[in-house]
Structure 1
Amino acid sequence: MTTTTVPTNIAHYLDAAGPFVARVDEAADWIDAERQMPPDLAGDMADAGFFRLLLPRDLGGAQLAHPDFLQILEQFAAADASVAWCLNQNNVFATSAARMPVDTAHLIWGEPRAVVTNGPPTRSCLATPVEGGYRLNGRWNLSSGSDHATWIAALSPVAQGGQNGATASDQGPRILLMPKPEVNIVDLWHTAGLRGTGSFSFDVDDRFIAEERTYIQDGPAWADGPLYQIPRTLLFATGFATVALGVARKSLEIAIGVGQSRMPYRSGVLLRDQQTTQRTMGEAHAQQSSARAFLKEAHGRLWDSACSKGTLTIDERIQLRVAATHAIRTSAQVVDAAYTLCGASGIFQSNPIQRRFQDMHVITQHVQGHYVHYETAGQFLMGLEPQGVF
């Protein structure tokens, strides 16, 4: 297949995002109910290059600067967290193309609508070395964007040794790649929030995967550029934090609209005219703005180092880790405040605050939002050896 080429400047995508954001906003209830993006919308976004934003240019990707990508992500987050989540998940994973065998990367992204989804392995997962590749077994969960994905990436531990005396060249975890029809999709995604991500599970039963369709997930990148010098976990964290901040900002806008028309029972005063409301709104605005500024500052420092030096300090990595976690946790507080201001009207599905409330509290349960990352930062600040993933 021939490689698709897409524009590589941020101005193009910022202009193109507007109509897509409007379509996402209009389809938000359908996305939530059907637990997926509308196929025509996902296809059109793929055709417009929105799943190739971080893909190397050598593969027909835009290879945008990561700060530019976050601008686009924040726009989609205000319309629907699930779509924004998939955009981040699928685009960040596309940076792994720079670590795959080059021919395999061209095979996958030679398809114009290519999207790769992935998910963490369960304890049942194991890749056994055999002649020419691996035999793969197991179940993987939380594969966001499964419906519109074309390929599946399975991270797996590798068994020591193998059949016919075959051994793995590296006994650490590997990522094994398969066209989606080669796996069994399992629908365990019955949640209260982020339903539209379609984060289904998949099973693999004794499937042979050729060596050239596998790679070490943290191996060296063959593509140049600062984007591929940043640990993928931090790219995920920054993007998901940006989604959370977008949800929080939109929740405040919803609460402002409710406050201008809602008169609490027996109060005789509009919600907006109550001092409690005014104080709550002011505090929530400050929380969201401060968390966003912290994330932008930490991310900016790290990005500048990646661009100018090609290396990152531990301080820069940990600062971004804690800033992303803080943005997610603080966004939840902001959404809770907005939800409370909406009163009894907020409990109904017809109020858009309800979906944001549910989405936000699923986001906080993701590993990128766990409190343990504060401990990592604390260890580093106290002069201890920091533990964790950063």
Structure 2
Amino acid sequence: MSHPVIERIEKISPEVTALAEEAERLGRLPEESVRLLKGTGMTRMLQPREWGGEEAHPADYIEAVMAAGAMGCSSAGWVGGVVGLHPWEVGVMDPRVQEEVWGEDRDTWIASPYVALGRARKVDGGYVFNGRWTFSSGSDHAGWVHLGGLILDDKGEPVPGDHHFLIPRGDFQIVEDSWDVVGLKGTGSNDIVVEDAFVPEYRVLQYSTVVDGTAAAAVGRGDNPLYAMPWFSLFGNAVTATVIGICEGALAATLDYQRERANVFGTRITQDPYTLPSIAEAASEIRASRVQVLDNVNRIYDVLAKGQVPSLALRAEARRDQIRSSWRAVEAVDSLFSRTGGNAIRADKPLQRLWRDAHAGLNHAVNMPGPSYQVAALSLMGFEPAPGSLL
């Protein structure tokens, strides 16, 4: 039996799908899509129980993200997956932060990005923070935003080590019309600007403590395997889960389209000896991506649930598989799309949008194969991953 959140996502799917074209036109999710997503409970799955969350098993969350990605509006699935991850990090921050974020509204959305483009100057009680960031998915609907940055020393030089700064809505600006793209157009992944915002010290988290689990231990959550999950085992797989979900949606759209279609020679696709095997093969590749991601999330969680620490070799393997699963699934969609005929590229056909969305998801930084594949290959040879490897 599927998780209740997944069942609720499947229930709202037709309504969210009907809003997909409006999301593309607006360049952000319509308010109704946001309301429907919040109603599923998806974005509270990783939230602490004392703040109205579920503290769900991460594999359940990953499956929910896949279900959301498979809706006919990929942008809704993408935003839901991203903002649904952020409560996990707030859960390992100072309790004062949790009170500020969830004290009045436990459905508050938190956006990002985490790339360290900001610069912080130390002042009494905290920092003065400045910067501009790109790719802030769902920011139009967010009350808070996690932003990556570096702290400057007395000489104005960056101190080694990234930090995450949590900023309330009143202290950041969304750059209008900064999201003009060909895929995932409805995510509203705008640029964010912060100018001389004061950030209390307790709303700043050292990134390395999120990665090694010490942030969770510092707030009494170190024994909870959910909050001890390695950063990329959650963040990376959540992005890949959306990509896989989009590809599953593209497969469903392909089947609907091809079921009644004939090719230019008059042969019905259901009797085409060339197209049918390609559909079966693509379906198997997408399924393999799903299974591999879920297996690795479960393996890492099970190690943590036993009170043990996942080995770097396991993390390298899981990171390799996360990236490969994204690419494998999108390659399968390419195979499907190339065999659907000329009419499939028409703007009124959903398959072209899903094809564009899948490729846009593949361009996310966590899906870059080179560095992580190198680490994984060296790990297979018995070499220890270097400190700072993206695991």
Q: State whether TM-score is above 0.5.
A: yes
Rate the CA distance shift 1:188–1:229 in 2: closer, same or farther, 3 A.
same
Residue 269 of structure 1: how far off its partner (Å)? 0.8
Rate the CA distance shift 1:160–1:185 in 2: closer, same or farther, 3 A.
same
What is aligned with 2:80?
Answer: 87
CA offsets 1:225-244 (integer angstroms, 9 cap, x no match):
11111122221111122222
List alignment gaps of at least 5 residues for structure 2.
210-214
Identity of aligned residues (%): 24
Counterpart AA for 1:389: L
Q: What does residue range 37-56 of structure 1 map to in structure 2 within 5 Å?
A: 37-46=29-38, 48-56=40-48
CA offsets 1:77-135 (integer angstroms, 9 cap, x no match):
11132212112211212111133210111110122331111114465x21010111111
Correspondence 1:287 to 2:285 = yes
CA offsets 1:211-235 (integer angstroms, 9 cap, x no match):
2322223432122411111122221
Correspondence 1:204 to 2:194 = yes
Matched pairs, number: 376
Q: What does residue range 119-130 of structure 1 map to in structure 2 within 5 Å?
A: 119-121=113-115, 123=117, 125-130=118-123
SS of the residue 1:207 aligns to: strand
Structure-1 separation of matches of 2:12 and 2:354: 19
Rate the CA distance shift 1:294–1:14 in 2: closer, same or farther, 3 A.
closer
Counterpart AA for 2:69: A
Structure-2 separation of matches of 1:200 and 1:240: 18
Residue 10 of structure 1: how far off its partner (Å)? 7.5
SS of the residue 1:359 aligns to: helix
Structure-2 separation of matches of 1:43 and 1:269: 45
SS of the residue 1:226 aligns to: coil
Alpha-carbon RMSD across the aligned residues, in angstroms, is 2.3
| TM-score, structure 2 as length reference | 0.90
Residue 32 of structure 1: how far off its partner (Å)? 2.0
Structure-1 separation of matches of 2:339 and 2:164: 46
What is aligned with 1:233?
Answer: 232
144-153 vs 290-299, greater mean Cα deviation:
290-299
What is aligned with 1:74?
Answer: 66
Structure-1 separation of matches of 2:227 and 2:194: 29
Correspondence 1:100 to 2:93 = yes
Correspondence 1:150 to 2:143 = yes
Correspondence 1:23 to 2:15 = yes
- Report runs of 4+ in structure 1 exceeding 3 Å deviation: 9-12, 120-123
Pairing partner for 2:333 from 322, 332, 335: 335
Rate the CA distance shift 1:126–1:78 in 2: closer, same or farther, 3 A.
same
Pairing partner for 1:300 from 275, 298, 301: 298
| TM-score, structure 1 as length reference | 0.90
CA offsets 1:113-169 (integer angstroms, 9 cap, x no match):
31111114465x210101111111111111111111111222110001389xxxx9x
What is aligned with 2:212?
Answer: none
What is aligned with 1:268?
Answer: 266
Structure-2 separation of matches of 1:370 and 1:199: 19
CA offsets 1:231-276 (integer angstroms, 9 cap, x no match):
22221111122222222222222222222222222x1211231111
What is aligned with 2:167?
Answer: 178
CA contact (8 A) 1:101 1:212 kept: yes
What is aligned with 2:133?
Answer: 140
CA contact (8 A) 1:159 1:171 kept: no
